[in-house]
Structure 1
Amino acid sequence: MRFAIDSGKLLYALGVLFAAAALLYFVRDVVFNLSITVKAVLLLLGFILLFVAGVTLERDVLDVVAFALSGVTYVVFVGYVVVRYSPGETGTFLLLAASAGLFVGLGYALRTGIPTPSRRTAVVALGGLLIVSGGLVGADALSGGVTYDVQTSESVTVSVPAAEQTPDRYPYIEAEIGTVAASNPSPFLRALALPSISGCLIGPTEHPQERVYVDTDIQWDEDTIGASTTKSYAVTAELPIAPNRTEPKTYAIEQGIDCGAERAEPTIAIQVGETDTLD
């Protein structure tokens, strides 16, 4: 049995697949550093642009390719809105229902003979969409991204609670050592990714150069920050202290030094890294 494969249609299909992959990569917040709002609007404008192209094109199969690309773009748009804006169960249902109605209506319009715009009209419409897209990207770039400011206390004092005073182990006491503030000056919703913070003990301690677990009190699913908003989060560290110690122990805190530094007193060395990229 011989299978007849249309090489042109095969290449078109591969083009649609690669376009879908590019769109998924685009919404992962790893390129262009665009805000969530602008990305969502660009996806919607891309859907409209490709649909207009599909209505205008008269060459064989190219109109189908344009419609396929517009459909894929819209699916990515809906998924991105649901994930990033968290509209809830009711909001998601309404968005999906509205999308179903939209595509049924568009399909019906095409089947009944939607008026084909002239080439001049299509060019003007597509040019207008591109101008709007460029304006949004420019406004996004000029408004600035999210900035982070890590502030640490000068020192922290910890003591062993009575319930933890057992001679067989070193308890770890959680203590607040500072704050990290995230500021979004732009009028758009943006991705939130706090910088990575690590620490270690230096100076005269029982465990010199021991790594210290440092964390923030951000919620596990909190990954966006609203327009013109500043949020602050506590920075905590788990510090070792001998269980048979009766007196509180004080650690100095220094930011921007490595674990090889030498100090005359027990010190927590804090290192601030890059923001955690959202995948």
Structure 2
Amino acid sequence: MANLKGGNFQKQIKDAFHRVEAFKIGRVGKNDNLTHSDKLAEKREMYLRDVSTYFESQNLQGKLNCLFTKENLDKFFDYRLENLSTISQENYLRMVSSFFNALSEKNIHIPLHLEDKNYFDDRVAILKDQTETIIENRYIDNVNDVIQNLYEDKAITGLIAQTQYELSIRQAEAFELIKYPEKYINDGVVSGLVGKGNHQYEAKEISFELEQKILQNKDELPSKSQYWNDLNKYDISSHDFRFTSARDKYEEKLRNGISEINAKLEVSKTLNHCRLSITNYYLSRT
């Protein structure tokens, strides 16, 4: 396998495009990832310049293709995709994956392909896991046992899962809370946490046990893909904790004599939903 030619990223980008360009070669009857159109060339140039600019900001040097490792790309995508819509993130990932495949077809060494063959499919799966789309029958019957097993496997994974479940929050929000606990936790109350759509959660109580675990945590947060992989061992997704929590809180309120409509309204506030219909959708799928 070869490396891209050139003494800097700009020259290596030019070499990359020269290797994969196929403007005068029709795609009919071909199954390749080469660049057959000006429009695709423009998009690929944008993606490569995005990643090279990020690598330069991190003081990474050498052959650009050799820097395409799982570790480097995890950091890049977490940075670059942060404020994009789900469909834009998925399109971005698919386009970069296609370009990497094109480089591999031209015998360019891509470390990621040796480290994680399913990398891009897994990243897309993580995206879909974090949306409001609820899969049928994903309620976790033995949620406390699952969380305990996750703690035994890796303490930080168990802590994220417990935080999601007890506070009914998304993965990204749990990461934020655990990373900056002093910003959000004060005297047994979590406040100021911002959810999807920049909508702030109402202040909510946190158990003393979970509060202390978060405040005393010294473990580094995993990447989103690593957390997804940890949960995937048990055939669960991060969002499963959120709507399992919704179902459990709803049923607890019914047992305490709260009417069905008021129970749903209270759970909707807990989930930080803007519309009751979303909460109904959650509950109908569990």
As a proportion of its length, which structure holds more strand?
A: 1
Provide TM-score, normalisation by structure 2: 0.25
- Could you tell me the TM-score, scaled by structure 1's length? 0.26
Name which one, 1 or 2, has greater alpha-carbon Rg: 1
More helix by share: 2
